[in-house]
Amino acid sequence: MTECRHCGVVSPVPYPSAEEIASYYTSAITPNDWEEIHYVRLDLNPKAIAGTEHLADQFTRLLGYPGRLLEVGCCSGWVLKAARDRDWTVRGIELAPKFSRFARDTLNLDVFEGAVTGIMPDSWPRYDLIVAFDVFEHLQDPVSDLRMLREVAADGAYLLVTTPNISSLVARFWGLNWRQVLPSHINYSTPASMAAVLARSGWTLERISEPRYWDPDPRREKSGRLVEIGKFVARLVLNVLVVRPSARFPALKSLPARLSRGKLSWDQFMYRVGDQPVLGDVMLVVARLMPT
């Protein structure tokens, strides 16, 4: 890993080229089984759909009305659909055809298949809100991409970005075992590096929060933060008392099903609790377009 002297972003060595990244995301035409469940067929998961609807409601409360929304890395388009259902005018950008085709063909969404660098700003409308969830860490040149997005942003537009925070306590605790250390992640940011990158690309940082509890209303966010802290503590306790000992005492794996009367399997329990309890290792960045 190496750290940029200009902005503090941490990246792997060797650093992949734009062509290598494009090839990585465009080589697969169909999603694998895991992607089908977690990215494509969200309509089979009411909780996941509720999450997209909650986000769309937050967008409206942030802007004050349903405006124009652009999602970078829109995947299969479920967030865009939720916003469209709430009267937003939406468009997505998605490099992976295995996701963009579902968004267009099944959800009937307007999705540009390609990288941010491939858009033609002069022929695009201006967007009141641009979002990029779990995308920034995959970008080969974040500054150039953010500058391009500035070209399609309306005056005073908001930018919402979620990305791993490598300076978080959780990231430092887990080190190379941190859940965000993945081959596809080529940029690891800190709050300071995000501020620097945004400033270099023409955006003004307004605040940094956490996607688990962020809300446009500070009072709601404070309440949500307390709830998530409570959940984090509960996950830590369960991890210490059940998850880790289960490697030595396999009988513990039957405990969730017995206590829930068969409603909660071990796999479902692990999905909710996780073998690496985290909070704060992903940041949600709120920025706005700098005046010209």
Provide the β-strand partners of residue 162: 133, 284
Could you name the CATH architecture of 2-214+278-289? 3-Layer(aba) Sandwich (3.40)
Per-residue pLDDT, 33:
92
How many helical (H) and strand (E) elements, i.e. helices and strands, does the chain have?
11, 9
Cα separation, 172 vs 47, in Å, equals: 31
Per-residue pLDDT of the chain (292 residues; tens, 9 = 90+): 777 766 677 887 788 888 888 888 888 789 999 999 999 999 999 999 999 999 999 999 999 999 999 999 999 999 999 999 999 999 999 999 999 999 999 999 999 999 999 999 999 999 999 999 999 999 999 999 999 999 999 999 999 999 999 999 999 999 989 999 998 999 999 999 999 999 999 999 999 999 999 999 999 999 999 999 999 999 999 999 999 999 999 999 999 999 888 889 999 899 888 888 899 999 999 999 977 6
Residue 50 and residue 82 in contact, taking contact as beta carbons nearer than 8 Å: no
* Alpha carbon 262 to chain centroid, angstroms: 32
* Alpha carbon 40 to chain centroid, angstroms: 15
Residue 69 and residue 89 in contact, taking contact as beta carbons nearer than 8 Å: yes
Quick one: CA torsion of 117, 89, 100, 151, rounded to 10 degrees?
0
Beta strands in the chain (DSSP E): 2-3, 10-11, 68-72, 89-94, 111-113, 127-133, 153-164, 203-209, 282-289
**Contacts made by residues 241-247, CB under 8 angstroms, sequence distance 24+:** 242/273, 243/270, 243/273, 243/275
Give the start-to-end residue ranges of the domains of the chain. 2-214+278-289, 221-273
Angle at 237 between CA 232 and CA 243, to 5 degrees: 105
